[in-house]
Structure 1
Amino acid sequence: MSQFALLGSRRFAPFFWTQALGAFNDSAFRNAMVMLAAFQMGLSDHEVSLYTNLAPALFILPFFLFSATAGQLAEKFEKTRIIRYVKLFEIAAMALAAYGFIGHHLPLLLVVLFMMGMHSTVFGPIKYAILPQALKTTELVGGNGLVEMGTQMAILIGMVVGNTLMLIAGVGPHFSAALTIGVAVIGYGASRFIPPAPATAPDLKFNWNPFTETARVLRITREDRAVFNAVLGISWFWFFGTILVAQLPLYTRDNLGGDGTVNTLVLTLFSIGTGVGALMCEKMSGKRVEIGLVPLGAFGLTAFGIDLFFARSGSAVTRGLDWLAFLHGAGSWRIVLDLTLIGMFAGFYVVPLFAFVQSRTPRDRVSRVIAGNNILNALLIVIASCFGLALNSIGFNAPKIFLVASLLNVVVAVYIFTLVPEFLMRFITWVLVNTLYRIRVDGMKNLPEEGPALLVCNHVSFMDPLILMANLRRPARFVMYYKIFNIPVLRFVFKTAKAIPIAGKKEDPAVMHKAFEEVDAALADGELVCIFPEGGLTKDGSIQTFRPGVEKILERRPVPVVPMALRGLWGSVWSRRDSMMRRTRLPRRFRAHVELVVDVPKAASDVTAASLEQRVQELRGDMA
């Protein structure tokens, strides 16, 4: 099912429109307020600068003060009810904004801006914590992609509409007031259709002290190293994005020679790119949480950020170009491509990270971890703003700041991927498998979503473990021949994936004994373990006799058994067909069509090595 089918589902659609309308209103209000201050009130440059610089600080302050409290609310109480209260709060805030717009009361509008910051602070933990409750595991990446796309488009449209309405002579404030109140009311109406989302930690002891609770939330966020580093990755995304977006007005004026329409164009390109990248994540990941896309996203951010510097590093010769004149200028389409691709790779980067945090964090802590993420995001946004101002003060123009941010992205990516090699391992696996094969999966719904299970599969090529890693929805521990485990480059992948090397009893009885101990320990910890009971690669394409090791494992630890079969690998890259026929092992079937079939779990008491062999043979059929 396509991710877009979620837009027709009550499980997702009302929530999607509620959050998109909220993002639109937030953007429309902020931009209308800036236009009012800058163009409608006759203020001095100093006064305009004061208000425009104070506005971001007031909006972000609630994230520091109330994120921890918001995380507790989302865990302890039913989420849909909180969403409706938040939307009623938004209606009240927009009513005050209407009075401020019409009466030109900027101090009151700054109060409303603080209120909208509170609105976003409370809604944030719910926004991402409700998705794992409403969606299936296979829908999580697609749902996050739609939310990210919807948010980007809503912010962009809100910016354009907010700017345009406020600048209508004479009636701009009235139109802006009507719009923001109307959208808030529609958003509340949409929230009435969101299905209930029960509390995940109803017995949580509420802590009203925002400072001690913030410290506790940050401790919870750090408990799982992989999750915490994913949170750091998300916060870095906001740092990078803040620097980029903050420089775009000066870049548009000084380097592109454009007017306000060109500024709108470059923001549109970045937003559309991010939305497209977010939507592509589901297709590229095969509907699983694929953190292998994160290094790809980091690479794209750096590559196209550096190219943006080289595309137009000097000052523009001509000034005041509108968007159409800019597009007709020399080299403009390179800039268009760079901005769009930076956005697209940003989508590849951030969507899998959010899905990873949601899927790896226990349900009764997701909201508080998201709250911790929001606190760190706010901190990195403030640091990014100060960093950009510091670089400006020492004479760096916008292209040079793009270059610095892109090079810093390399340092941060290396740091994160060194701390959590799983990201790089998943990237290598994703690239190898998707380069060499075209894979169709059937029956993945049969894989248990939690708890231990023993997976058994036929063994056709040296790539079998990587193919399974790239397509199983849950991480699995693979038992593999120790010589395959020690293949250069792939050793890093197998070791990071906690594969279990095994040797024959005659080769190395100590390695064999250790392997069985590790298998039992993994199953005891509730993990998936995958074995190839043939004991080696098939030499002629047929399934070899299953060895009794599988029975030994189940005798000691009776867990559910999931038979699986790989089809179409015989004769592909790194199978033994070529060596058997004394041919040079060349990629004779590059991009081979491969199928993975997953059967329903069997009780340990109902299976033997022979019965499993027969079932895997049936699953594979005639397609070797």
Structure 2
Amino acid sequence: MTEMELTPSKELPPLYHDSSFWGMTVTQFWGAFNDNLYKQLVLLFCAQQALQAQTSDQQGIALAVFALPFVFFSGLGGWYADRHSKRTIVIACKVAEIVIALLAMAAFFTGHLLPLLVVLGLLSTQSAMFGPAKYGILPEMLRDDDLPQANGVIQMTTFLAIIFGMASAGFVKQAFPDALWKTSYFCIAIAVIGTISSFWVRRTPVAHPGLPFRWSTLGINAETRTLLIQDRRLLSVLLISSVFWFVGGIIQPLVNIFGIGQLHLSVSRTSLMAACMGVGISVGCVMAGRVSHKRVNFKLVTIGAWGIVACLVVMSGIGWWGPADGVETLKEADTSLWNSFIPKNAAEWMARSVLTLLGFFAGLFVVPLQVELQTRPPKSQKGRMIGTMNLINWVGIVLSALFFGIFTTVCNALHWPMSHVFLFLALVMLPIAVLYHPKDEVLAHSAPELSN
């Protein structure tokens, strides 16, 4: 299967009948699921240690261990994705995931945090290498005008995997409270399923054979820097994507402290608020793909930005209003998990509804940016551009952790409610809503190069 030829578009199956596309979708879904299942298990392990041994909570260290490999290795992942077959990288990363899952079993068996953190770092490094190949292969194996819908499905399933992965960790841990190493059976099985589905992915040509390695590859390489300097539209998309992930990185822990600290909700109810946001993102991603009409639809970015601003302002208002019921009433109502699914007061109803809408507008916002970053760079630089996107996005996420700590300190010192932070995030997004209005870009009805 070495002969390369341009396959006419009529020979490619429709997107939703394309086994290669669904193979990639299934592969990345289970990869994201495994990442978040294991990460949440480690965070729960840290929290349990802190409570039982009365020691400091190491969850912050665990989150840093998970985030930093994306900063350090996303550029290297982009270089590999351009220099080698992206399908080969996808399969190799899934095989590596099986090995890491086996190491996770040994780490849990020791009962110590350090081995768990080492495995967590390996898992996030594997994900950093996988990301550029995952997103970079889509414009190579699909028609450009199918990319909005394809990205909508990929983004939707990614966020669903994050939600279900984190939620499953609690059930798995509860099933094996004294034998966490047994939870690795699930991680291993998931990695095997993802590896099998990766073989469905269509072969694509190497984007830049023999691409030399330079130390700048670990960050933003010279060719990509030149491209971004020359193409200000591409640079603006990259920076706005990073701002989006900065805001998202603050919202996730903010919702937790808002639900427990201000609305006086139980942990299960607070988790369901975060889940509402994830469901909204999934629906928004699919909607963005469907209404894009074979183009990069930047009107959706504008609509999404205004929607995010409005929802953040309303969330700040809910914080001022507060719950109608007292703390004890809510705690007594949470005698079972099923009771948690039914909101007990108007504030909880509103918070869940607004967070669902917030997620929906976030889905509309992010899909056109993702499609633009895939289609606009030349073929020889798509992998490195995705690697750069991952790097910049994770820098935004790391900065969000720093700023969240600053916000927490300031609000505590001034006795302000944490809901003020929602208003600050609305102000961060407002300039994008007001000023960022690029023209839509029509996507060519083209076929990728395939190998037979």
TM range (shorter): 0.7 to 0.9
CA distance in 1, matches of 2:51, 2:110: 14
1:19: which partner in 2? 28
Is the 1:69–1:207 contact (alpha carbons within 8 Å) kept by the matching residues of 2?
Answer: no
Is the 1:291–1:356 contact (alpha carbons within 8 Å) kept by the matching residues of 2?
Answer: no
> Does residue 398 of structure 2 align to residue 382 of structure 1?
yes
1:402 aligned to which of 419, 422, 446: 422
CA distance in 2, matches of 1:213, 1:353: 19
CA distance in 2, matches of 1:32, 1:449: 44
Structure 1 pair 220/246, CA: closer, same or farther in 2 (3 Å)?
Answer: farther
Please report how far the alpha carbon of residue 279 of structure 1 lies from its aligned counterpart in structure 2 after TM superposition. 0.3
RMSD of aligned alpha carbons: 2.5
2:5: which partner in 1? none
**Stretches of structure 1 lacking an aligned partner (at least 5 in a row):** 428-443, 451-624
Structure 1 pair 180/41, CA: closer, same or farther in 2 (3 Å)?
Answer: farther
CA distance in 2, matches of 1:29, 1:312: 32
CA distance in 1, matches of 2:121, 2:95: 16
Is the 1:282–1:288 contact (alpha carbons within 8 Å) kept by the matching residues of 2?
Answer: no
> Does residue 358 of structure 2 align to residue 351 of structure 1?
no
Structure 1 pair 222/43, CA: closer, same or farther in 2 (3 Å)?
Answer: farther
2:43: which partner in 1? 34
Is the 1:70–1:121 contact (alpha carbons within 8 Å) kept by the matching residues of 2?
Answer: yes
The one-character-per-residue Cα deviations of 1:437-474 (angstroms, maximum 9, x if unpaired) are: xxxxxxx99x7769xxxxxxxxxxxxxxxxxxxxxxxx
CA distance in 1, matches of 2:356, 2:311: 9
2:85: which partner in 1? 78
1:301: which partner in 2? 308
2:127: which partner in 1? 120
1:334: which partner in 2? 350
Structure 1 pair 324/68, CA: closer, same or farther in 2 (3 Å)?
Answer: closer
The residue type paired with residue 403 of structure 1 is L
1:414-563 map, 5 Å:
414=434, 417=436, 421-422=437-438, 425-426=439-440
Structure 1 pair 38/304, CA: closer, same or farther in 2 (3 Å)?
Answer: same
Structure 1 pair 448/214, CA: closer, same or farther in 2 (3 Å)?
Answer: closer
> Does residue 70 of structure 2 align to residue 54 of structure 1?
no
Structure 1 pair 177/211, CA: closer, same or farther in 2 (3 Å)?
Answer: closer
TM-score by length of 1: 0.64
The residue type paired with residue 427 of structure 2 is L
The one-character-per-residue Cα deviations of 1:485-515 (angstroms, maximum 9, x if unpaired) are: xxxxxxxxxxxxxxxxxxxxxxxxxxxxxxx
* Count of equivalent residues: 422
What secondary structure, in the 3-state scheme, does the structure 1 residue paired with 2:298 have?
Answer: coil
The residue type paired with residue 373 of structure 2 is V
1:90-239 map, 5 Å:
90-168=97-175, 170-171=177-178, 173-207=180-214, 210-211=217-218, 214=221, 217-239=224-246
Is the 2:272–2:341 contact (alpha carbons within 8 Å) kept by the matching residues of 1?
Answer: no
CA distance in 2, matches of 1:289, 1:210: 29
Structure 1 pair 211/186, CA: closer, same or farther in 2 (3 Å)?
Answer: closer
1:257: which partner in 2? 264
The one-character-per-residue Cα deviations of 1:381-437 (angstroms, maximum 9, x if unpaired) are: 11111111111101143311111101111134445x2xxx52xx559xxxxxxxxxx
Is the 1:256–1:326 contact (alpha carbons within 8 Å) kept by the matching residues of 2?
Answer: no
The one-character-per-residue Cα deviations of 1:75-97 (angstroms, maximum 9, x if unpaired) are: 01011111111112111111111
Is the 1:326–1:332 contact (alpha carbons within 8 Å) kept by the matching residues of 2?
Answer: no
The one-character-per-residue Cα deviations of 1:83-140 (angstroms, maximum 9, x if unpaired) are: 1111121111111111122321210110111111111111111111111011112210
Structure 1 pair 204/383, CA: closer, same or farther in 2 (3 Å)?
Answer: same
CA distance in 2, matches of 1:126, 1:179: 25
Structure with greater proportional helix content:
2
Please report how far the alpha carbon of residue 162 of structure 1 lies from its aligned counterpart in structure 2 after TM superposition. 1.1
Please report how far the alpha carbon of residue 369 of structure 1 lies from its aligned counterpart in structure 2 after TM superposition. 1.0
> Does residue 382 of structure 2 align to residue 366 of structure 1?
yes
Is the 2:143–2:446 contact (alpha carbons within 8 Å) kept by the matching residues of 1?
Answer: no
Which one scores higher on RCO, CA 8 angstroms, separation ≥ 6?
A: 2
Structure 1 pair 211/15, CA: closer, same or farther in 2 (3 Å)?
Answer: closer
Please report how far the alpha carbon of residue 20 of structure 1 lies from its aligned counterpart in structure 2 after TM superposition. 0.5
What secondary structure, in the 3-state scheme, does the structure 2 residue paired with 1:177 have?
Answer: helix
> Quick one: percent identity of the two aligned structures?
29
Is the 2:73–2:218 contact (alpha carbons within 8 Å) kept by the matching residues of 1?
Answer: no
What secondary structure, in the 3-state scheme, does the structure 2 residue paired with 1:331 have?
Answer: helix
What secondary structure, in the 3-state scheme, does the structure 1 residue paired with 2:235 have?
Answer: helix
What secondary structure, in the 3-state scheme, does the structure 1 residue paired with 2:378 have?
Answer: coil
Structure 1 pair 34/77, CA: closer, same or farther in 2 (3 Å)?
Answer: same
Structure 1 pair 325/286, CA: closer, same or farther in 2 (3 Å)?
Answer: closer
The residue type paired with residue 24 of structure 2 is F
The one-character-per-residue Cα deviations of 1:191-219 (angstroms, maximum 9, x if unpaired) are: 12212122111132222565575566444
1:616: which partner in 2? none
Structure 1 pair 173/218, CA: closer, same or farther in 2 (3 Å)?
Answer: farther
Structure 1 pair 413/100, CA: closer, same or farther in 2 (3 Å)?
Answer: same
The residue type paired with residue 364 of structure 2 is F
Structure 1 pair 217/62, CA: closer, same or farther in 2 (3 Å)?
Answer: farther
CA distance in 2, matches of 1:310, 1:170: 40
Of 82-91 and 139-148, more deviation after overlay is shown by 82-91
Is the 1:83–1:191 contact (alpha carbons within 8 Å) kept by the matching residues of 2?
Answer: yes
Is the 1:77–1:202 contact (alpha carbons within 8 Å) kept by the matching residues of 2?
Answer: yes
TM-score by length of 2: 0.87
Please report how far the alpha carbon of residue 36 of structure 1 lies from its aligned counterpart in structure 2 after TM superposition. 1.9
